[in-house]
Amino acid sequence: MYEQNKYIYQYNSPLGNITMGADGENLVGLWFDNQQYFASTMASNPPKKDLPVFQMACMWLDMYFSGQAPDFVPPVKITASSFRHLVWNILQSIPFGTVLTYKDIAEKIARQTGSMHMSAQAVGGAIAHNPISIIIPCHRVIGSHGKLIGYAGGLYRKQKLLALEGFVFGMSNVK
């Protein structure tokens, strides 16, 4: 899992520097510098290289940070457990400017897998290890009753990302 990141690229966002990793063709990581689980898919000291996938990711981030919902996703490749893939697929289905709760995601996975129950804490653990922040929008997940909790990049960034998308706490944009 750690050797899939062969190259890195830096992006300077309004919320701090972002490091991206790629295998040559696919984005395999995108982290705010020094966030929790930073560079979890990164090989030791990969070289910096300007690749088409990085340029696509930069265009996506430029659109996003200008307040637009990007209409494309750069190619991504993630090596993870089937459970984490289930969680991250649900994250990708959360529309721009809306949120789900950890409990909502746990209930969706329980329905998808035919389980009686799924732990919201297990969902939170999978979300915390999301290697492609923002593009796989883990910031769109909040606690029960609309509470702002959990974000590897820091709660202040989570709040700013949601505000950038027009999410207003206390409004009815919880899906």
d(CA 144, CA 83): 21
d(CA 147, CA 95): 19
Question: HEC states along 37-75?
Answer: CCCCCECCCCCECCCHHHHHHHHHHHHHHCCCCCCCCCC
- Which 3 state secondary structure label does DSSP give 31? strand
Active site residue 58: no
Tokens of 63: 């659109």
Instruction: Compute CA distances 65 → 62, 78, 84, whole Å.
Output: 5, 24, 26
Set 42, 61, 91, 138: catalytic member: 138
Tokens of 146: 């609309």
Lookup result for tokens 């088409």? 52
- Which 3 state secondary structure label does DSSP give 22? strand
d(CA 99, CA 130): 16
Tokens of 36: 């929790």
**Catalytic site residues?**
138
